[in-house]
Amino acid sequence: MRHNNLSGNIPTTFSNGSSLSSLNLHGNKLEGKIPQSLTNCKQLEVLDLGDNHLNDTFPVWLGTLPKLKVLSVRFNKLHGPIRTSRIENMFPELRIIDLSYNAFSGNLPSSLFQHLKAMRTIDLSLEASRYGADRYYQDSIAVVSKGYEREVVRILFLYTTIDLSKNKFEGHIPTIMGDLIALRVLNISHNGLEGHIPSSLGSLSLVESLDLSSNHLVGEIPAQFASLTSLAVLNLSYNHLEGCIPHGNQFQTFENNSYEGNDGLRGFPVSISCGNDHVSGKNYAVDDEESNSEFLSDFRKAALMGYGSGLCIGISIVYFMMSTGKPIWFARIIVELEHKIMMGRRKKQRSQRNNRRRNNH
């Protein structure tokens, strides 16, 4: 029933023993609250209420559904802090949670993250599929066709995701998020988060997209991020980060827009050098200064020894060096050539004077 013109409230009459496994009401005009009678649907795996006009708080009671894998309530009017229940086994199978584009507030829910057991282990038996702009899951049912009897199964392809972007969350990023090692997409951008990026996020070995942009994060990018070899998309823009950008692996592929709005960052791909590059830059500058000083000293000696055309050559060298910035070795070749010319002329002049003296005698 997605992308229809349904309006009004969601019915509250979901009865006990319901065999409903997927409810997709995405892209309608539904209003009101999320009915708590959905807790009667113990077989429910997919609940997509995104892109409606629902006005409610976080439906924590959905955590009692033992098979719920996908929860999307993006683009609604949900609000307030996310509080979790004291029940131990909350959201045990949840692999996709999308709360983006709402008005949730308060700290990021550490207590919720510690309940997400399915995100804390990598299940190799699940085949994760890539999705498009708003395609998070795909239901497939094998059927009997053309006279061949096939096993009728329902396969749910999942792409483990947490999207809490475009809300009003504040405080620090919980360290416990680094325990959600099955994550492939983490987006907590466009909130009011502050403090340092926890190094524990470097443990998300499967993450392919990481977006922490448009917050108030400070400090350095954790060096552990360089080990995220699956990372294809990184956005840390518009924070207050500083220091050296990690180098190696995937970090060689990211462009400036991954870091823009952080004036304190240095290193590739931004233009300011960092670390060893910065030291090398200093050394190069010192070497250039020493070379230039040595060149000027050599030039002064050559200019003093020469006269006439020699002086012109010396002045030409200075002009050439100042205007083109050519390497010092090239200038030294010129100076040596000038010196040889001057010495040759002096030798010739001495020879001429000696000849005149012999003629006079």
- Tokens encoding 292: 């230039």
Q: Are 34 and 12 in contact (CB under 8 A)?
A: no
pLDDT in tens, 261-285: 998 999 988 866 776 544 333 333 3
Domains of the chain: 7-272 (3.80.10.10), 277-360 (no CATH)
User: Which pLDDT does position 189 carry in this prediction?
Assistant: 96
User: Which pLDDT does position 19 carry in this prediction?
Assistant: 85
Among 96-110, 240-254, 277-291, whose mean pLDDT is lowest?
A: 277-291
Report d(CA 95, CA 101) in Å as an integer.
Answer: 19
H-helix or E-strand spanning residue 144: none
Q: What pTM was computed for the model?
A: 0.70
Alpha helices (runs of H) in 80-184, residue ranges in sequence order: 110-113
In the chain, which ranges are E strands?
7-9, 22-24, 29-32, 46-48, 53-54, 70-72, 79-80, 96-98, 103-107, 138-141, 154-157, 161-163, 168-171, 185-187, 192-196, 209-211, 216-219, 233-235, 240-244, 264-266
| Average confidence (pLDDT) over 205-234 | 95
The conformational region for residue 94 under phi > 0 = left, psi -120 to 50 = alpha, else beta, is beta
Question: Of the candidates 68, 309, 103, which has an alpha carbon nearest to the alpha carbon of residue 192?
Answer: 103
User: Which pLDDT does position 14 carry in this prediction?
Assistant: 86
